[in-house]
Chains A and B, each alone.
Chain A
Amino acid sequence: MAEEKKAPTIGRASATEREPSSSEKFYFWLAPGQVVNPFDIISVEHMEGSRTFGLVTNIRQITDAPSHLSNYISNDFGNVDEVANTPRQGANIAEVGVLANDGDIYMPVQSEAPVAFADEAGIHVSLGIDKMPEEARIPAGLITMSNDTRARVYLDARYVLGPEGAHVTISGISGLATKTSYAMFLIQSILQTVGEADIAVIVLNVKHNDLLVIDKPARGFSPEDHELWEALGLKPQPFRNVRYLLPSGKDTQTTGLPNCFGEPPDQFQIYAYSLEDVIGRRDSPGPGLGLLIRVPDPWDTLGALIGEVQQGILNQEPRWREVRTWDELLNGPPLMDKGIPQKFGEVAASSVGRFVRVLRRVVRNRQSGAFVQQRPRRAVNLGDEIRKIKGGQTYVVDIAKLTDEERALVFGHIIQEVYGMYAEATIDEQAELPRKVLLFVDELNKYAPAGRGQGDSSILEFVLDIAARGRSLGVVLLSAEQFMSEVHPQVIGNCSSRVIGRSDSTELSESAYRFIPQDLKAHLTRLDKGELLLAHPIYRQPVKIKFPRPAYQAIGH
């Protein structure tokens, strides 16, 4: 390693009888007045001229007072104004988790070894970034330390986009954890560094119209914001080549406007679901009625009926030939006769009635306007559009104003299409696909919940398969949720990178967070907005990062 200016010593390693150093952990006392914070990365001189790097996980102050009572008594039995001629002897002791040694020596740090803040090069060694090929580096944020040192932190593309690993999960308290902002920043980072030509992005907008302006440059972007982007080696630019797909609403037929919050983007397309769109065609099955019937069905009675209905309509069986619209399905034969549900095959009339009631509630009584009797020409089939996606394109599918069942339908439809494109396509078909597709979904816990029996099993199946095989398929899931513990453990387990914003202590006590050292968990409850904890397979410990404000317009509401 080139001769470098020696960083000032801020303390010395300290091993004691009760708290020895180990290969994983050591302690050091701080020079008086020295400020160090959790998540700082330090460097300590070690054997054979090597350096060990560690992450500060906690800092304690110790004194020679054996109890608080001694301190109380020492102040003249509780006199708050007492002046101590000789201040109580004390020291600030930092606990450090070992990250790496640049000589591959993992002997315990020796007591009295000088400790200093790590510089950027040292931080990269500590995180394994120095061994990452340049072309695999994706800027993921900045580490900022107590001595104002900043260092770029990279994710290894082979562990984000495959083949070694894939997927990113982002969790934290809503409104504080900046999950969506980080996901969009990371997507932009991937596009700028890996190259957007081969990557397609599908993003679901779930909150207001937050993501309906991602192609517009941010307003009031300060020089500091610029500087942060440039510090990461990225250009602060909005998304390019964006297609907005917005749902049809109840008034769309008359106004021509989509059902979205605020003003729609300049360019958009409206999607809607007729009966045929949901059931599909023989050569191109749709998402299916199963996504709309989200009620308990322990004997799979409704499931069987759905199967019959879909088969009948798909195959244009004689008794289904007149059923082309929702109204015809809900009101006419073969399921209904003059408003009375009919027995259908082995399915009792009462079950048929239940099916019709549930479906009517979803597609007619309580729908937002996404379901239409006939899809107008200017509205598109979402699946058809997804199949057209090309590298370099970003699709934003708005579901903010949809009901829960409609959201499940849209997400299920998208994931089914993507899975079909990448998992079931022929070699020739695959050659025309973008090399990677990034799919960002918020509230993943609704579609891939942790508990048994919750949610739709068909969506869950696709999500689990993508989670497990995505790294080789080329499908990368970026998910956001308030509670990581509520997402299916197989999905979380298959996410190579985990990002955690401010979270509450109850959630952090769940087993999903057991990969975080106990001391660091306490700090997660105090993270500021824009501060995140990043865990990545290459890093030995999670690190705290900051990231820049999105470079597209922010909507205030």
Chain B
Amino acid sequence: MANPFAGLRPALEVIAREAEILPATGQALEDLMRPDQDEVYDRIRTGTDDRILDVLIETPNKGTYISVPPIYRPEKHTFRYFLDGSARTYFIGTAVEGNRQTPVHVAQIGAVAVFREDNGQVHVAKSSHKMLLLMDRDAVSFGPKVEGIVKRAGARFDFVNLKEDDAYTQGTGVKEPRSKAAHKANWRMRMLEWDIARELSRPEDQWLVLDGGLGSEFREWRDGRQFLGVAKSFSREPQFSVRGERGKRQSLNLYQLLAELPEAHRTAAFSVLSGTVAVWYVRLRPQKELDYPLMGVVKVEYPNPSAEPVPSDVINELSRALVGERSETPHGRDVRWHAHLYGIFLAEQAVKNGFLSPEALKAGLRWPEKARLSAPSGRSVI
């Protein structure tokens, strides 16, 4: 079998020839994402303008909690596609050129959409995997050359400049290049998801569920229809202003709002981003069986480009279908099993099955020996 990292070797050779390499311990070190990173991204996507949600973007419902008993697949099969992505980032060393330096990372990113048949069996509808080389292109003189080599290596490879910011790195405020790598890989993974979502050819009644909230790329998708974002981890920061039983307004934080949310119920749908997104929460599971009030709850983001009030019936139907998705669960496989839709979990597994193992990566990606790369004339010998 050919070395799957072959496309990156010429780039590594340039880096190795032009700079002193400080290899990572154990050849490659996986940069782990913290479990609440999704929560951070949710905060970034929501932005700072919508810290207090007080406008309902649905009609005619005005209540705070609405019953949504489950609809199961045999009765009505609403959600057909489930889309998720994953990224694994490895620090492979630091390239030092005089008094300048850049960390060098390699990342595997992937996104998969699975399709669910009428009988419940799933199969992969579309998938995409890439390998990224990440470094601060402008920190060293050979950066542009490395970028050119990787971009010519084939569609499976791509170059990411750690210096450039994107929505995730801007939102997290991370500046240090080594710390940015994982976020940048994640952002590129999100782009893969976006590509797949657009490329899926879906009949009108087949909904697509995205893992996580809707970023700007999805919100601005004018042709997109029948899709929504379901987040299992979400920001705790929003405050809510709702009408109580006697019509008087009261302020609730997220904990207060969700603590009173019964099983198989949803909250009212709130306006976010000037009404272009409707947001509500659905409790999938009885709270008494779980450790924490926020467990078993998903946050739903529904694209609403027109900013007009969304019919409550639509929101109810989608919420009922979501409650119906509570079985099976990835209990034992994911700490967020209580809010993790099984279809999304399977898409995630499909992505990860397409990744090469750390052992394969460490064996396939080795820094070339500098002595072998330089001849007395200064030209490389390969």
Residue of A at shortest CB range from B343?
A86
Whether A87 contacts B328 in the complex (CB less than 8 A), given A64-B349, A76-B285, A77-B289, comes out as: yes
Contacts of A85 in B (CB 8 A): 72-73, 79, 116, 120, 324-325, 327, 342-343
Interface contact B328-A76, CB-CB below 8 Å: no
- For residue B216, CB closer than 8 A to chain A, the reply is no
Stretch at the interface among A65-73, A227-235, A379-387: A65-73
Contacts of A86 in B (CB 8 A): 116, 120, 122, 325, 328, 342-343, 346
Interface contact A82-B332, CB-CB below 8 Å: no
Residue of B at shortest CB range from A32?
B121
- For residue B358, CB closer than 8 A to chain A, the reply is no
How close is A32's CB to chain B, nearest CB, in angstroms? 7
Residue of B at shortest CB range from A64?
B333
Residue of A at shortest CB range from B285?
A76
Whether A74 contacts B73 in the complex (CB less than 8 A), given A85-B325, A86-B346, comes out as: no
Interface contact B332-A65, CB-CB below 8 Å: yes
- The interface size of chain A toward B, counting residues with CB under 8 Å, comes to 20
Residue of A at shortest CB range from B119?
A87
- For residue B316, CB closer than 8 A to chain A, the reply is no
- For residue A84, CB closer than 8 A to chain B, the reply is yes
Contacts of B120 in A (CB 8 A): 84-87
Q: Mark B343-355, 1 if CB is under 8 A from A, else 0.
A: 1001001000000
Q: Mark A30-53, 1 if CB is under 8 A from B, else 0.
A: 001000000000000000000000
Contacts of B328 in A (CB 8 A): 65, 74, 84, 86-88
Cα-based distance from A445 to B243 in the complex (angstroms): 89
Contacts of A66 in B (CB 8 A): 331-333
- For residue B326, CB closer than 8 A to chain A, the reply is yes
Interface contact B331-A83, CB-CB below 8 Å: no
Interface contact A89-B346, CB-CB below 8 Å: yes
Contacts of A64 in B (CB 8 A): 330, 333, 349
Residue of A32, A67, A74, A87 touching B329 (CB-CB under 8 A):
A74
CB contact list, B100-123 vs A, under 8 A:
116, 120-122
Cα-based distance from A73 to B332 in the complex (angstroms): 10
Cα-based distance from A85 to B116 in the complex (angstroms): 9
Cα-based distance from A12 to B330 in the complex (angstroms): 26
Kindly list the 4 A-B residue pairs having the minimum CB-CB distance in the complex, ordered from nearest: A66-B332, A70-B331, A84-B327, A70-B332
Given A85-B343, A86-B116, 19 further pairs, Cβ under 8 A: A64-B330, A64-B333, A64-B349, A69-B331, A69-B332, A73-B331, A73-B337, A74-B327, A76-B327, A83-B73, A83-B327, A84-B120, A84-B327, A85-B79, A85-B116, A86-B122, A86-B325, A89-B122, A89-B349
Contact sample, A vs B, 13 pairs, CB 8 Å cutoff: A64-B349, A65-B331, A65-B332, A66-B331, A66-B332, A70-B333, A74-B329, A75-B327, A85-B72, A85-B73, A85-B79, A85-B342, A85-B343
Interface residues of chain B, those whose CB is within 8 Å of chain A, are 72-74, 79, 116, 120-122, 285-286, 289, 324-333, 337, 342-343, 346, 349
